[in-house]
Amino acid sequence: MKRVLLTFIVIVAGLAMTAPDASAQSGNRNGRTDSGQSKMDAWQKDMAEFRARSDERRHIQELTDSIASVQAFAAVKNQDFVLEAQTVQFRNGSTVFVNDMTNFISVKGNRAVVQISPSDFAAGPNGVGGVTVDGRISGQEYRVGKKGLATYSFSVTGIGINAQIEIYLTPGTNQASATIYPNFNANTVWVQGNIVPYENSRVIEGSSL
């Protein structure tokens, strides 16, 4: 009888000792669950704020592009603009990233200036790394296609230039490309850049031929 009673006491003591451990483990599990949920909630909040900021920036950029596009199309139609070039491609296929302050096509009324200055190291004939030519415009034509792509073409004739120029404006932005077809040789040149109103341009015009 004593042995049975002793055995019973030992079992009860063992249960009493393990009960707090089980409770602690349950508490730890709950703690880990709460911590994980808090991290997930914080991450979801951060992502929501990031998407909101991204949407706002995208909206601002779309609005800016729209305003620049309206200004560019109006400036070209009024023959009062500058295409500030960022790249120039030559007939041999080579494309050069250029300074948009010294590479441009400008139109002001009936006068056009074409300046190609790919070099930042040599002064060139115009003093700013290339060649500057200007002349009078004739035969100008402005047309808009079905998808909103506008084309402005004209001839320019002067002491150092006799060429046909076609400018293509991208809808929704002020981005544009142009092709310069010299009438006296086959050295066609392509440029890409942005259209800005003449008064807003910051180009540097070198000495013309």
Interval 82-101: pLDDT, tens: 999 999 999 888 999 999 99
- pLDDT class for 156, splitting at 50, 70, 90? very high
Distance CA 91, CA 14 (A): 93
Closest CA to 66 of 174, 146, 143, 192: 174
Report the topology of domain 1-209.
Lipocalin (2.40.128)
Strand partners, 169: 150, 176
Domain limits, the chain: 1-209
**Are the beta carbons of 57 and 161 closer than 8 angstroms?**
no
* pLDDT score for 1: 54
Query: Does 150 have pLDDT greater than 90?
Result: yes
Q: What is the pLDDT of residues 17-64, one digit of tens each?
A: 554 554 545 555 555 667 778 888 888 888 777 777 777 676 566 666
Q: What is the mean pLDDT of the chain?
A: 84
CB atoms within 10 A of CB 118: 20
Find the mean pLDDT for residues 131-159: 93
Minimum mean pLDDT range among 5-14, 28-37, 135-144, 199-208: 5-14
